Structure formats: C-alpha cells, structure tokens
Structure 1
C-alpha cells in the first residue's frame, strides 16, 4: 500500500484521507500481498482496515477487473463490512453488495455478475457454488473474517478448497483475534485455509505500542455468603451420592480433585462413539481409529461395560443426573439464587414428564430439603455478592471516570434479563441500559433478530444506550466503539472468548476490565484455564516456523473472460430450467467424491492388508462403477426418469389477454406493474379478476412478477 508523507493511507482506490496511517498495518499488508495469510491481531488493532487496504491493492493490481469476496459468519458482521467498504473504497456503491439467503438465487446470480465487492455469510456462497450458479475463477481475494471458525464441515473449508482449485491467482486473508488453543487447532486452521504466511501482533509489539491504550485488569475476588454455602453443601451431598454409582463400577477415577460436567459428557460421548463404531473382527486399524475418538482409553468405557455386564441405559441416565446437578451448582455459585431456583423448576417439569434422570433428583430428600429451605428462610432476598459489586463498579465508572459506555458480559440470557431489571433500580433514570442477546429458535425464549442487534449497536454507538448487558453474541467481530469499561460477570474457560471480550475496551482511551470471581467455585479454574490457553497460543504464534504451512501453491495472472454482456431478464427467464440442471450438478459432485474415496482406498496399504486377510469388499462384489453410482445418487436426489404427467394448462381469454399485453407493451421483456394494471383495466380486467388471472399466468410460466413491482414476459401461450 502506497503511503505518502500524509497521516493517511492513500491509494487510487481508497477514499482520500479517510484511513489513519499506522505503520504496523502497513507492514502487515505488505506481507500479505502475495501469500495466503493468517493475520492474528488482538481485538481493537484494526483487522477490518487490514482487509480494506488489501482489497484496494488487489483491485488496483487487476485494474478493477477482479472481484473481492468477504465472508463473515453472521448478518450483522456482513452489514458492518458492507458499511466499511462503502465508506473507505472508492468505487460505486452499487458495485458493493451483500448476498444473503433472503435474496432469490436468480437475483444473487445477477448481483454476483454485476458487483466488484461481495460480502456474504459462507453458507450462501457454498450453496450457490455447489449448484453452479457462479464460480470463483475471477475472484482476486477472499477474506475469511473470524477465521478460527474454519473447522470441520463449516462452509469456510469448502470455499477455500474450491477457490484454490479454480482460481489461477488465489489470495486468502484470514482474520482472527484467536486461532486456537493449541498446536493441533492452529495447524488444522492453516491447512484448511492453505495458509502460507502468519502475521501475529499483540499490544506489546514495538510498532503497535504507539497506537493503543493500556487496559487495566481487575480481578474482583468474592466470598459466598453463609446461606449460599449451606445450600451448596446439601447439593454437593446429592452429587456425591450419584458419583458413587460411577466409582463402584470403575467408570471414573475416585481420586480426582475436581469433577466437572465434562467428565460425564465424556463418558456418554465414549459410549455413543463405541456403540456406533462396533468392530467385531478386531481389526487393528479400526481399533486405532476408534481410540483417536475417545476420551478414556486406558481402560475404555465400553470395555468396562462389557466386562462387568453393566446396564448402558442406567449409565446414560446417571450421567444426565450428574450433569444437571453440576450445572445447578454452577448457577448457585456463580450466578444467583434466581437462576438456581429457575433451574430447579425446570427439573420439576422434566420429572412430571417422566424423565428418569430428573425424577431421581426431584424425589431425593436433598432436593426436598433445599426446597423447604428456600421457602422458610426466604433465600431470594439474599443477593449473590457479584451483584452489589457490579453496582459499585458502575457507580465508580460513572462518578470517578465520567464513563457513559460500559459492557457487562454474562454467560446466560436469563442472567442478562435479571441484571437489566435489577440494575435499573439502583441507577439514575438518565442511565439507559439494554441487553444484547442472540437469536433463539426456542418458543420459550424470544431472542433478538439480527436486525434488532444492529439497531441496538447503533443506539449504543450514538450514546442512546449507556450500559450493554451482553451474552456471547457481542464477543465476535462487531464494531462496538468507545467502550471504556468491560465487566465479566463470570470468567470463561475459552481463550478465544477471553481475548474477544477483553478487546472491547481500550480502543480510543485507557480502558478497564473487571473480572468477577467467586472464590472456591468453577470461576477460579475457568479463569486459569483461559489464561493458560492464551499463553500456549501466543507461544505457538511467536514461533510460526514450527507449523507446516502451504508451500506448493502456484500462481499465474487471472485470465478474465472479457466484458460479457448479460441480460438480467434472461437469467430470470431461464432460471426454472436451471433448477433441473442444479440437481445434476449436485449429483455429479457427490459421485466424484465417492469415486475419489473408493479409488484412494483401493490403492491404500490398508486395502491390500485387509484383502490379504480374506476380507471381501462390497464394491468388488457388485463391480461398482461410475454409472451405477450415478444412477443411485440421482434417484436419491429425486431425479428419476419417470415420465411426468403434463399438467393441464387451462387458459381463458382474460389470461391470454394479459399475456398479449405483456408481450406488446414490455420493454426488454419487462413492464412496470402499475402500468400493466392500467392496461388491464382498459380491457375490463379489474380488481380481484385481475389478480386471479395474473397469478394464473405466472403459475403457468408465461409471466413473472417480482418484489420490485415489475412484470416479466416469459413466453407466449402459442
């Protein structure tokens, strides 16, 4: 990026004097111009600007012929990137578009052809590529925002594969604040994005220090009151009772200093995997593969079950009971009586539905004792020590630091609502607060749509909201400005979430981060775990040479197809015919994947070894060929060759008249809806009659009406 003597980044494709020059950003972009790069920057160091600068460079290199694709995991992030591009990049706004699943496929095809910069969620792009609606051959750069999501079957992985295979000069930019907690996760991310170069910057780097402010971390350690300890003692006694079920059967180590929900989730995971992965013939390779999937291998849970002839259903049920007890204990220790009691009510409801794991708890004397204590002593009046501490911090921020922007992070939506209602009572009416939560697919929990989320962020930005009480939805990527203080209601056992939460403050002035920790609870190990994971991650990124990065990507200049003219009308008109071809394209992809896997396996040492042991494979017996696979896959996708009955196409004179009007008066196949309606009225086709016959003409494929109030002539009835 060419930087002049001025204090701004300037480039023919950047809006003049809009991006402040920062030396470290300039250094990063220079390293990313020719190699697929993973840029790991602490939150607040301007990952978005790195992307903008690289976009300008690639568009300049290809004389604005190439396309740029920006991928982000949520629609609010897509909206944010769209605004940034329109603000900083000097091209027409209509050339910057976002693609969402709410836009019809045929319209997305048109937008992809017209646009220069496309911003989208990855699933939309994956679906369109699989169906051949467009390809990535002319894409000069793909930016993967929140790149740490590139794991498993997430769409980022598919798109990266497709891009590297189809584009002559691919360039990948992965942006994240935290790529993973250990070597394996970071290596896997680099493999999936074909990373050739890692750039890692922290607040401690010399070229960064001049551009950041200090963030002071305050660990607020709190003690539980006596009443909480009394309830906890009873609850722990119930847990120990059910723990004996596992100890007696040698399913868990009795000498562990600490038991967590993960211990019991791991037992159920191992049982599920082992039951699905049955290996009656004892093949060594399959045994090794199974052990890679298990938490407990010496001995394996399934071996203990078989040796002792244990009841698997009882194990699953007791695991569920223990997980519920530990979850309730966590709510009691780290949240509030309100959430604890709410969870007890959910257990009672499940018990009424005859769920054995819940009935076991609800029918216990421990549960009944706790219920009686809560009624008799009115425990709800005793607040968790975290709540008065939050009020104290907020009042100090407002009075001493004159701070009017605070974010409180909490793990649970119910806690967000509790804090919203109760903090209001302790503050001046001039202080406005709002919760900020994600979407919900549960009928009982109404979440916030992504449109609502964007609206709340804007109000917070404008100062209409002073305190934001947020769940994890506010951690990732969103540009939440000028926050001077962050409060963690509880620590999180994830280095990614720790970094993202902490990075919300100290962007434009010195910041403060308060972490509330209840002593002798899960808060303590959770905080230690997140710090240890962050330290491990930083150690790996400081020495990227220990990672195996891509070295075999060959590049040559993209050969563009030339300025092809296309008709939006033709794309819409032909889309119904395309739908049939899309099934074929999807089937062909499935067939190629199956054939590749069979070919690869049949050439492997494992195949030869198993054949030598007398194993017969299904594909050898039936002589599995491409045509046989194709026939089966096509039938599975519903593309059978059964002769379809042609629907009767009844056309009365009014329908024919509307088709004739559209043909005669349309320009390039389209006519304004209101103009079309006026022409129909002249033919006495009015009111309800007009809409009935228009719908009939559209249903039969002669006309098409879209949301933009256009009517398209598709074909004549003759």
Structure 2
C-alpha cells in the first residue's frame, strides 16, 4: 500500500512518502544545503517539504527561483496544487512591476525567474527581510554574475540571521570541484547531500535504462567536402603560427577560446597589429571548425544552411572581415559549389528513421525524444521522419528567432508539450531547450543525434527516460568525427563529477573572504547614489556599482542610462552598438545624444569595449567624424572604458566628484523630445543606409518632399550634392526592390 506525506500544509494523499526524500529534507532543514539528486527522483518534492516546514513553523514568505518562464509556470502549478491553503504568486518579467509589488505583499509563496527578483530588489520594489526560505532550482547556475548570486548575497544581508535558509537543488552541478565550491560559496551553502542511482534507498524507485551506442560511417561525398574545408583550416593555422601563435588543426576549442581572451586583453591594453590579425584569423578558424563539425556529424543539409548564413553575413554591410574572407577563399567556394551536386545524406538520418520506427512498431504508445545540438538538424530530422509510418514528429526549439528561423513562443511550446503528452505527437525533435526542467513526460526512448561534451547536459538528456518505466537511450556517433571526442569528454566529466560530489558529501565549504568587493566599496566611498535605467541591469554595471558601495536606484529613465547629479546624465554604449548605429540605417544614437545634450548641462557618453577602429569594417574617418560630431556639435564628453567594471568605476568617480566634492544632488528631469515635421522627414530619408543627416537634408532641399525623393530616378538623385552612383543605386534599390521578408 502506498504511504503518503502527512503535513498540515500539504494536500492529503498527493505526495508519495519516500525515505530518501525525508532524509534529504531533514538535512536541508538543519542548515543551508545543496542537494544533488538524479532527474526524476523528486528534487521539487524535497523543496516542497522544506517549504511546508518553514511556513508552518515560522510564517513569513518563501521564494522559489527557476531559470526559465516555462519552469516557473510548471512549479507554480505544482505548488498551488500541493499547498492548497497558501497564496502562491507567479513572477515573470511579463507581469507589470507595480503589480508584482502588490502581489509580493499579499503572497506566502513566490515562484519567479531570478532576473525578475534581481530587478525588483535593485529597484527597491521588494525586500527579503521576512523571507524564511529560498529554493534555487538548477542551482549549478549560481556562478559568475548570474542573478542567483546577487539574490543570495542580498538575502544574507537583509534577512534575519535566525530565520534565513537556502536550498539548492540540481541533478548535475558540474565536474569541476572549483565550480562546485563556487556554487556553494555563492549560495552560502553549509552542507552538500548527494544521492546517486547506486544508493540502496534510491534503487527501488528506479527503472532500467538501456544505453546503446550506434556508430555510423561518414559517406565519401561528405568526407571530400570535409577535406576541402580542412585545407582552409590548415592555411589559417599556418598563418597564425607565422604570427607566433602555436595553433594547429587539432588544437581544442577551449585552447582557442583561451587564446582569443588573451589576444582581446592585449588589444584593449595596447594597440597590437599582430593581435588584431590573430583575432580575425581565430574568428575564421572557429567558423571553419564549425563547418567541419556540421558536415561530419550532422549532414549535408545542415552544412548547406550554415554556408547560406555565412554568405548572407559576408554580403551584409555589418558582416565581419572573417566571413567576407572565407566566402572568397577558393577552397571554401569549391566546397559550397559541391553542395549543389547530389551527395549521399548522412547515415545518421537513416539510423534515426530505423530506430524510431522500430520503437513505435514494437510499442505504439511510446514517447520518443530526439536531441540535436542545432536547430537546422532538428528541422532536418523532423523532415526525415515525415514519411515514416507510425511516427508523428514535431520540432521543439527555443523562443529566440534566428536567421530565417522563427523561434517558438511560450504558448506554442506549451501547446506542443500538451500534444506530446496526449499522443497527438509521439516524437519530439528538440534542441537544448528540452534538456532542463520543462514538464515533458517521461519518454520510452531518448535518442542523441550526437553526443554532447557537457556532463550536465548529458545527465539532463538521460533523465528524460526511465522515470516511470524502463527506458532506452541511444547515442549516434559518426566514426572518426568530433562525436567521438564529445562522447569520451562527457563520460570522463560525468565520472569526475560524481567523484567530486562524493568527496564534498556532508562537508562544509570554506567561505572565502570577498576581498575584491571590499576594495571596490572602499574606492567608491559612502553615500553615493546613482539612478540607473532598468534596461541596464543586463550590462552588469549596476551590479558592480552596488558591490562598490554605490546606492543604485532603478528607474525607467526617459533620457540617458545613468544619472549621478542634477547636471550629469550618462549614456553607455558598447563599441559594437556604437558602430552598428553608424551603418545599416540606424540613426537613433544621434537622437539619444541630442536629448541628452538638451537635458543635462554635463552630458557624458561612455563607450565600453575594445579598440573602436578595428572591430568593424568602417573607415576610421567615419568613426572619427561621428565622435567629432558628438563632442563638438552636441557638446557631449566622450569617455572610453575597457569593460563593465571600468565603466562602473568611472560612473562612481563622476558620482563622487558631483555629490561629495561639489555637493550636488540628483534630479531626474527631461523627456525625449518630439520630432518636428522637418526632423521626421530627415529621419525617414536618412534611415536608408549610406545616407547621413547631411545628405538627407540636401535631398529634401533639392526635391522638396519625401515622396519626391523616393520617386526620383538614379540620374536625378545624382544631381544632388554629395550623392554619388552608389548612394543613388542604394536609394533606388530600397525604394523599388521587391520585399522578400
């Protein structure tokens, strides 16, 4: 007979009683704890029991944080069912800030994305003083500047020491002991509890999972393509070695990324022509290696789509030098041309058809998930299954839209999952979006289209089967390809992770002193205030300012990104964003600068990032002209910074000078100016790339109206001062070209 959890706050006869979950709950209630538990064994149930105990004993509020909106919705629904007498609120960025503030006051259980809580804390819409518990779902994310880190820090600063308690839950904290220790330190973890599938109290709740590795041969046509592209790789590696950098065809991606970071640091610190050349060559090498990987592990269609994107990037005005050089390389062009002739499809596709068809023929009620690393592959695999009897497949990807590929909305994702549960679809072809936490039912077959070199992602994928009944895992590997390396890397990391977690089991991580933050705070001084536009949270500057001791007040600023006195407003732009505003018809920068100069006596523009003259194909004179216009025509001071930390330090220095040295107070004022008709007309014409404000005025003065400008012939356009053949052709192309969006 099934025994259920009995607790005054938990719905009766809903939660099955499992001894290992009770033991983990007991540990989690003794002190802040990180629990590592395989997927499907009830991490959320442990969190529920901890939450119920805290609310019953202490009252107050509890906070459950999950990294994505779908996960938040999933957890909200579960806690509403499980805690029928508690007020459960769902927080995401799509809910108005003022409404969240009211909901916070009235709720006992708040389920939220971490970014939403971080924003509300920085804007002082909420506080954590009466929060008696926080659960950090997918706790392995609590590294670097992820929102979990800030929230935990604030919690331990603001909440009563006697009533605060943290629980981190994850199936896979990573293989690096230093990273695991960082997670524990950032969340103020006092103990670690680990359960594996080998534990005697867990085994009764497990189902068999058979793992198969299916190796396939790469067809000769794809191998020929690969060899052509590899010639380009050999050439670029040779050029790097001539510059003094020890790079070979087999150099790992991690080593290349490390070299890239070092080179970028050199570029920022001092102008180094060899470093610039090396960075550009590295960009080519990354693109070449990606093409090789796609060809040998994914297939011809995926490679063809990648080459299509590469050509589009090279044709665009904002395209990188690396992409432009690659598409002009004879060997790359030969490889692209070869794709137009028939090449045998990758044998993985045939293996997918066979494996899925066999599974559904033998067990028609089965559910199948196929994981792919790339969206193009997901589309390719879904198409390959269209004509297989008994298979009803659907592609499942993230919300972001990419080149010629619209993402799924959250509503569409939910509809697909519901249809997968009901059986309308029996096969889900998914990218990484289906790996973490989503309420996707247990499946009978998980098929890896390729192995992944991440132990965390591998564990999450495997956890999609074997939850309620026996499951099957099949991993496809292309012989002699990067698949082989990814498989062994993942296997080694998974073993290393379990060894690291076993070593940390029950231990108390050493708390390292936060020396860097103290030094920053000492630099900034006391009682400094900065008003920060809420859209700047993602930049990391606001977080660094707080670490420096500056009181950050989040607001929706009409003008500027930062305000530090009644006369100083600051606009922050990355060098990449700044340069993008000079090409492609984007003119909003000068409108922002104009409003900033009109509103504040001492307007400041901070340009953050690397060398501004070499990261895009824009003539230095054009960049100098824009900077000169901002400084001279608008009277805006321009300050260069290396990175977010340098930007924060500069803003703190300006704030200290204004507020402490000059005794000035902060005053928010000004709204964006409404454009007069002539300004609107100039804006419309200047929106066409290659046309600046001066040429736009010349065109309007000559023709009199926007309609006349747009209706002019090439020859008529060239009669206008500063309008040459290229500009005239561009205007006619934009006005007369067919829309293909």
Could you tell me the TM-score, scaled by structure 1's length?
0.71
Q: Identify if the C-alpha distance between structure 1 residues 236 and 407 changes in structure 2 by more than 3 Å, giving closer, same or farther.
A: same
Match of 2:54 in 1: 58
Maintained 8 Å contact 1:214/1:511: yes
> Aligned residue for 1:27?
23
CA displacement, residues 22-60 of structure 1 (integer Å, 9 cap, x when unaligned): 111111101111210101111111111111111111111
What's the counterpart of residue 425 of structure 1? 387
CA RMSD of aligned residues (A): 3.2
Q: Partner of 2:42 in structure 1?
A: 46
Residue aligning to 2:204: 210
Distance 1:594 1:630 in 2: 16
1:125 aligns with 117
1:503 is the counterpart of 2:463: yes
Q: String of CA shifts for 1:77-122, please: whole Å, max 9, x gaps.
A: 0000011111212315xx1110122222221111111111111111
Residue aligning to 1:594: 548
After superposition, the Cα gap between the structure-2 partners of 1:457 and 1:632, relative to the gap in structure 1 and judged at 3 Å, is farther
**Which of residues 473, 477, 483 is equivalent to 1:523?**
483
**Is 1:259 equivalent to 2:263 in the alignment?**
no
Cα drift, residue 509 of structure 1: 0.4
Taking the TM superposition and a 5 Å limit, the aligned residue runs for 1:647-658 are: none
1:152 and 2:144 are equivalent in the alignment: yes
1:226 matched to 2:220? The reply is yes
Of 305, 326, 329 in structure 2, the residue corresponding to residue 361 of structure 1 is 326
Distance 1:266 1:331, change over 3 A: same
Please give the alpha-carbon distance, in whole angstroms, between the structure 1 residues aligned to 2:245 and 2:70: 45
Describe how 1:2-401 pairs up with structure 2 within 5 A: 7-62=3-58, 65-92=59-86, 95-168=87-160, 169-254=163-248, 258-277=250-269, 311-353=274-316, 355-375=320-340, 377-379=341-343, 382-401=344-363
1:386 to partner: Cα distance = 0.4
SS in 2 for 1:206: coil
Instruction: Name the SS of the counterpart of 1:440 in structure 2.
Output: coil
Alpha-carbon distance between aligned partners in 2 of 1:407 and 1:368, rounded to the nearest angstrom:
36
C-alpha deviation, 1:422, in angstroms: 2.1
Q: Give the paired residue count.
A: 547
SS at match of 2:39: coil
Could you say if the C-alpha distance between residues 405 and 523 of structure 1 is closer, same or farther in structure 2, counting changes exceeding 3 Å?
same
- Helix, strand or coil at the partner of 1:218: strand
Any idea what SS the aligned residue of 2:548 has? helix
Tell me, in whole angstroms, the C-alpha distance in 2 between the residues paired with 1:415 and 1:33: 45
* Structure 1 unmatched ranges of 5 or more: 279-301, 554-578, 598-622, 646-718
CA displacement at 1:266 relative to structure 2: 2.9
Q: Larger Rg: 1 or 2?
A: 1
Give the secondary structure class of the aligned counterpart of 1:132.
coil
Counterparts of 1:103 and 1:424, CA distance in 2: 39
Q: Distance in 1 between matches of 2:531 and 2:294?
A: 53
User: Structure 2: how far apart are the matches of 1:188 and 1:543?
Assistant: 15
Separation in structure 2 between the aligned mates of residue 441 and residue 632 of structure 1, nearest angstrom: 48
CA distance 1:479–1:642, shift in 2 (3 Å):
closer
Distance in 2 between residues matched to 1:446 and 1:144, nearest whole Å? 31
**1:334 Cα offset (Å):** 0.4
Following superposition, the deviation at residue 157 of structure 1 comes to 0.7
- Gap change, CA 1:394 and 1:311, over 3 Å in 2: same
1:194, CA displacement in angstroms?
A: 0.3
> In structure 2, the residue corresponding to 1:435 is in which secondary structure?
strand
Cα displacement (A) at 1:592: 6.5
Change (3 A) 1:551 1:358: closer
> In the alignment, which residue of structure 2 is the partner of 1:464?
424
